[in-house]
Structure 1
Amino acid sequence: MASSTRKKILNTLQIGKDYTVKPAGLQWRSNTFFIVATVAIGLFTDLFLYGLVVPILPYMLHDRIGLPPDQIQSNVSGLLAAYAGASVICSPLAGLLADRMTTRQAPFLLGLTALLGATVLLFAGQTLPVLIVARVLQGISAAFVWTIGLALCLETVGPGNLGKTIGSIFSFISVGNLCAPLLGGVLYEKAGYPGVFGIGFAILAVDFIMRLLVIEKKVAKRYDAKDASVGDRDTTTNNERDGNAEEEQDNDEQQPLLGSKKEDEAAFKLSGNQPKLARIIPILPCLADPRLLTAFLVAFVQALLLGNFDATVPTVAQDYFHAGSLKAGIFFLPLGMSDFIVGPLFGYCVDRFGTKPVSVFAYTYLIPILTLLRLPHPGGKDQMILYGGLLALCGVGLAGIGAPSIVEAGAIVQKYYEVNPEWFGDNGPYAQLYGLNSMVFSAGLTLGPELAGELKQRLGYGNMNAVLAGICAVTAGLCFVFIGGRPKVLSWRKR
């Protein structure tokens, strides 16, 4: 009896590996909604703490470190670059590590540990090197959280429901990205550093508890298996294939990316003659697929646009309307609210109609909207309303370009995995995939502000947005050709 109780306690804490005794709360801890909610909270925490600290960095450098005013801007940019650089470097490493581990929970918790360390250093740091280390830890945390979180989402809901799941998650976390800078500024003004970091530590505690409680579905199925020693692929894969075979056949016409079985064998079969590096990083051969590269490009341009708005909205608000930091932050509300409202709708459309129509529509839609951003000029309330309205319309387009990239990349790599299961191993290549996706996104987020600032200074704000509209036009064309498979009109002309 004592032995059984001990096993149950160890399994409940996910320390033990005796699958004959079920842990407490197995059913709700492995529930799809709880797993997705845990991922959403993890991504929310990452973005929230990032945005919470950004508006007070200048004050930390001036008041706490004692830097002169002429060095503040360059060091703020350096701290932002430290975050992005660490994320770019660590994202593929996080994916490779996660795919070599039996479960996602350990690296997921590792990312949270890095974020906790970063928050402590930011709260207590008194020197510039300590703040740099803190920002690097934040970047490492972002790499693990986004890579592991997206891979866990795909494994939990499947590719057929990934679009609306990602759309809903992005709508939720956009609230954190939207409110954190405003909240950070208000808390710093009213309560100082303890107020800012107090709410940060509270959110970290909630995030830690949820990550500790979650049980992955593949782990939960081990407890239901008759033979506890049988691995995941032996206990789940065959049943899933048998149960979903008819459904996949019925939905085949709605998934242009996936052809017949023979076509898939020819298109997605990997050669056995691969270089040594490809055997160490199994996802590398997939990068020869132009559809996967286009999916990464979509993520890069999305981040490029987000970085552009982060860099230019505050300066335009200041130059055109003489707005302070609080009023400038309010201009981010239309962007975030549009994403929050229509994000799930676009995610549903991706699942229902495919990635091609949504991505082509969203990028084509952004072309005239970005061009119209040359209309606002210095003035009063009417110009502020015009600028806010155009930002809200931009937010609609940004909401539409989030899900297609992730869903498309996941569908392509899943097909490679199905055709070449022995190449990728039991865990598949999904964490590696989202590690690369996170790396590309972080690179776009890093380049976006630099590109926007340079273009705005050299060409002016209106022409800068015209260049971004041109980038969207090129991206829309590439989406039409590659995303979701080759369009029928091009296939017909080829024949």
Structure 2
Amino acid sequence: MDDSRPLTQKELEGKPKYNSSNQCFWDERAPAHAVSPDSTASIFRCHIGTDSLSLARLGARSVTGLDFSDRSIHQARSLAQECLESGGGELHFVQADVYSALRVLTSGGFDLVYTGIGGSLLASVHREMGRYAHPVVWTLDESDAGGLSLKHPYFESGEPVLRDHKASYVGTDAWGDFENFVTVAFAVFTDVFLYGVIVPVVPFALESRLSIAQDKVQFWVSILLAVYGAALLVSSPIWGYLADRISSRRLPMVVGLLLLGGATALLCAGTNISLWIVGRLLQGTSAALVWTVGLAFIVDATASENMGKAMGWVGMAMSAGILSSPMLGGLVYSGGGYYAVFAMCFGLIAVDTAMRLVVADVKTAAVSTDGGVTSSDPQTAAGAIGLADERLDDRAVDVELRGREANKKPAFLVLLRRPRLLAALWGTLVHGVVTTSFDSTLPLLVSDMFGWDSIGAGLIFLPLVSPSLLGPLVGVACDRWGARRLSSLGFLLATPFLVCLRFVDGDSLSQKALLCVLLVGVGIGMAFVLGPLMAEVMWVVEEVMPSSTQSSYAQAYGLYNMAFSGGALLGPIIGGLIRDAADWGTVGWTLGLLTFVTSISQTCWVGGPLIKGRRP
């Protein structure tokens, strides 16, 4: 237990910030303590349950651990699930501060009470003739006939402890974490690169290799892009569900790479539209796996306060792929032909294969929460926990109820009831619509209006995606100010630039410059959306399901991928059909209206409801 001397009610009311600040600190440290690659369980702090676990494995019939940090309780439950599979006593964890302990725990209900400081506060918790244990007892010598004497050192030895270890004891600077993170970022880059490298090639290859009539090219370009989005949409929840039930993050990543290699081979060798459709289906399936498992992989080892920054770097890897792929695709196709483009793709896959095979495997705590170890139901823990008649503090009750709700329903069903998550998913869908609508319209626009070839069709994406390199800076801002401000600002900023695309209507230098300027404005707006909404998904999971967050990340990012893939499915269709039925200007103002409405929804619900009410 983490506690201190009993405070009077006046002291508690006058200095609430001390307790909340201390709780925030331990919330931040709990994940780092649990995932440290350079430490063993013996040096973990008691707040993640190692002392309670030891007592249970030594034969205690029922053990209850108490801590005021909900993330510490989550880590303790995960650790207990892994370690008590081979047997041990009942083990339960309760989230409450020490001043609520007398209301949460049964008075006189324990044979042994072990704590560090403030033992007088907990004197009534153990049974009559029960024992109270305190670390200071280690220092006492009972052999002296004259009474107890201080003889033994309180710490590990009587001499100063010297450590010659350069890494942080929580392992946050270890190379292994960095290696895993780089592998996921490179996997994202590879996936996005192979999606975008053929965007400027497809309109020309459809005519030259597949003999598609020129008036049907826009239709098939939109269909091929939409097929990718459909595969992403359907397979994302499947991969999210399976990833929570596989104890390895590396295995799904390797499977995704096999699918990606097969998809690339079909697109390279295919000479009819059916093979191209199958290739795009496999490519979308692979992308769903990489994004779902890869993002969960990063969340596993990233503290909450750094999530915006981490997702900013992932967004930057994605941006680098989007930025370089159309440009390189157009250049290589113009200079070396169709097969040269795919030679570059296979070379990238080879590098990605090596990185995924050597990355350290990551074991997750993805096991069922139905057992007694993780149950927070008072009836399940009746032998060790007795709730007093008094009402618990609001935070402890809320965590208790949310934990019970999470145990009854699949994670994605619980999450989908939250307006905060729905707003983030809607923003993600709109982001996908805006970005992919350009994939189906820009190459044909510059070809028809400016007479550009595949090189120009690739280079025109440069002003659109280059602002997304701001991802890390946006991530830092997100960690400081939250996702609401940034996502709302991003959609609002993109609106006038999208509407003004209607003014690009001729083949002149000024018109080309105007198009580039407007695309930069749209790109800056979208750069403020991607990373913050990724981080928002993780924050929603932590808020809604604090007792099972580790097993919910993959499902949550499965929902995120479904939203983005829905946008990737609708974007090319909306952009292509509107351009065919009306004109380029109509595409712009339609997307502008969509982003304006979305900015309002982001302001109202991302980060929690703007107007506070009862939680659904």
> TM-score higher than 0.5 here?
yes
Q: Matched residue of 2:246: which SS?
A: coil
Alpha-carbon distance in structure 1 between the residues aligned to 2:211 and 2:553 = 45
Alpha-carbon distance in structure 2 between the residues aligned to 1:400 and 1:82 = 27
Runs of 4+ in 1 over 6 A off after TM superposition: 26-30
Q: Does 1:461 align with 2:590?
A: no
Which residue type is aligned with residue 331 of structure 1?
I
Q: Does 1:366 align with 2:494?
A: yes
| 1:118–1:328 CA distance, 2 compared to 1 (3 A) | closer
Residue 82 of structure 1: how far off its partner (Å): 2.7
Is this contact kept in 2: 1:30–1:217, CA < 8 A?
Answer: no
1:439 to 562, 565, 572: 562
- Find the counterpart in structure 1 of residue 6 from structure 2: none
Q: Does 1:156 align with 2:301?
A: yes
Is this contact kept in 1: 2:334–2:455, CA < 8 A?
Answer: no
Residue 353 of structure 1: how far off its partner (Å): 0.9
| 1:197–1:329 CA distance, 2 compared to 1 (3 A) | closer
Identity %: 35
Which residue type is aligned with residue 404 of structure 1?
P
CA RMSD of aligned residues (A): 3.2
* Alignment map for 1:198-217 (pairs within 5 Å): 198-216=343-361
1:38 to 183, 189, 192: 183
- Find the counterpart in structure 2 of residue 312 from structure 1: 441
| 1:272–1:118 CA distance, 2 compared to 1 (3 A) | closer
Q: Does 1:105 align with 2:239?
A: no
- Find the counterpart in structure 2 of residue 448 from structure 1: 571
Alpha-carbon distance in structure 2 between the residues aligned to 1:94 and 1:71 = 34
Which residue type is aligned with residue 228 of structure 2?
Y
Residue 376 of structure 1: how far off its partner (Å): 3.2
Residue 37 of structure 1: how far off its partner (Å): 1.0
After superposition, the C-alpha distances for 1:236-261 in whole angstroms (9 at most, x for unaligned) are: x99xxxxxxxxxxxxxxxxxxxx973
Alpha-carbon distance in structure 1 between the residues aligned to 2:420 and 2:402 = 12
Alpha-carbon distance in structure 2 between the residues aligned to 1:82 and 1:376 = 29
Q: Does 1:399 align with 2:399?
A: no
Alpha-carbon distance in structure 1 between the residues aligned to 2:220 and 2:502 = 31
1:271 to 405, 418, 441: 405
Is this contact kept in 1: 2:423–2:601, CA < 8 A?
Answer: yes
Residue 45 of structure 1: how far off its partner (Å): 0.7
Alpha-carbon distance in structure 2 between the residues aligned to 1:448 and 1:263 = 43
* Alignment map for 1:278-357 (pairs within 5 Å): 278=409, 281-340=410-469, 342-357=470-485
Q: Matched residue of 2:472: which SS?
A: helix
Residue 378 of structure 1: how far off its partner (Å): 1.3
- Find the counterpart in structure 2 of residue 227 from structure 1: none
Which residue type is aligned with residue 261 of structure 1?
R
- Which moves more between the two structures, 115-124 or 319-328? 319-328
After superposition, the C-alpha distances for 1:365-411 in whole angstroms (9 at most, x for unaligned) are: 22223233333331421221122112111111010010121111111
After superposition, the C-alpha distances for 1:87-122 in whole angstroms (9 at most, x for unaligned) are: 111111011110010111111111011001112222
Alpha-carbon distance in structure 1 between the residues aligned to 2:305 and 2:175 = 19
- Find the counterpart in structure 2 of residue 249 from structure 1: none
Q: Matched residue of 1:437: which SS?
A: helix
Which residue type is aligned with residue 154 of structure 1?
V
| 1:485–1:324 CA distance, 2 compared to 1 (3 A) | same
Residue 200 of structure 1: how far off its partner (Å): 1.1
Residue 127 of structure 1: how far off its partner (Å): 4.2
Alpha-carbon distance in structure 1 between the residues aligned to 2:361 and 2:394 = 31
Alpha-carbon distance in structure 2 between the residues aligned to 1:216 and 1:105 = 6
After superposition, the C-alpha distances for 1:121-172 in whole angstroms (9 at most, x for unaligned) are: 2223344433332222111111101111111111122332121222222223
- Which moves more between the two structures, 363-372 or 64-73? 64-73
After superposition, the C-alpha distances for 1:15-44 in whole angstroms (9 at most, x for unaligned) are: xxxxxxxxxxx9999622222211111011
Residue 434 of structure 1: how far off its partner (Å): 1.0
Q: Matched residue of 1:484: which SS?
A: coil
Residue 61 of structure 1: how far off its partner (Å): 4.3
Q: Matched residue of 2:563: which SS?
A: helix
| Higher radius of gyration, 1 or 2 | 2
- Find the counterpart in structure 2 of residue 53 from structure 1: 198
**Any unmatched runs of 5+ in structure 2?**
1-170, 375-392
| 1:45–1:329 CA distance, 2 compared to 1 (3 A) | same
Which residue type is aligned with residue 308 of structure 2?
G
The alignment of Structure 1 onto Structure 2 pairs a total of residues equal to 423
Alpha-carbon distance in structure 2 between the residues aligned to 1:56 and 1:215 = 37
Q: Does 1:415 align with 2:543?
A: yes
2:603 to 476, 480, 484: 480
| 1:466–1:103 CA distance, 2 compared to 1 (3 A) | same
Residue 442 of structure 1: how far off its partner (Å): 0.9
Alpha-carbon distance in structure 2 between the residues aligned to 1:461 and 1:192 = 30
- Find the counterpart in structure 1 of residue 330 from structure 2: 185
Residue 463 of structure 1: how far off its partner (Å): 4.2
| 1:74–1:486 CA distance, 2 compared to 1 (3 A) | closer
Structure with the largest fraction of helix: 1
- Find the counterpart in structure 1 of residue 551 from structure 2: 428
Residue 288 of structure 1: how far off its partner (Å): 0.7
| 1:351–1:474 CA distance, 2 compared to 1 (3 A) | same
- Find the counterpart in structure 2 of residue 86 from structure 1: 231
Structure with the largest fraction of strand: 2
Residue 66 of structure 1: how far off its partner (Å): 4.8
Residue 54 of structure 1: how far off its partner (Å): 3.3
After superposition, the C-alpha distances for 1:258-306 in whole angstroms (9 at most, x for unaligned) are: x9734742784553895xxx4xx43212211111111100100100110
Is this contact kept in 2: 1:374–1:463, CA < 8 A?
Answer: yes
Is this contact kept in 2: 1:339–1:399, CA < 8 A?
Answer: yes
Q: Does 1:387 align with 2:532?
A: no
**Any unmatched runs of 5+ in structure 1?**
1-25, 223-230, 239-258
Is this contact kept in 2: 1:95–1:431, CA < 8 A?
Answer: yes
- Which moves more between the two structures, 105-114 or 71-80? 71-80
1:376 to 504, 507, 513: 504
Residue 65 of structure 1: how far off its partner (Å): 4.4
Is this contact kept in 2: 1:30–1:215, CA < 8 A?
Answer: no
Alpha-carbon distance in structure 1 between the residues aligned to 2:407 and 2:173 = 45
Alpha-carbon distance in structure 1 between the residues aligned to 2:237 and 2:452 = 40
Q: Matched residue of 1:288: which SS?
A: coil
Residue 332 of structure 1: how far off its partner (Å): 1.1
Residue 485 of structure 1: how far off its partner (Å): 1.5
Q: Does 1:261 align with 2:395?
A: yes
Residue 482 of structure 1: how far off its partner (Å): 0.9
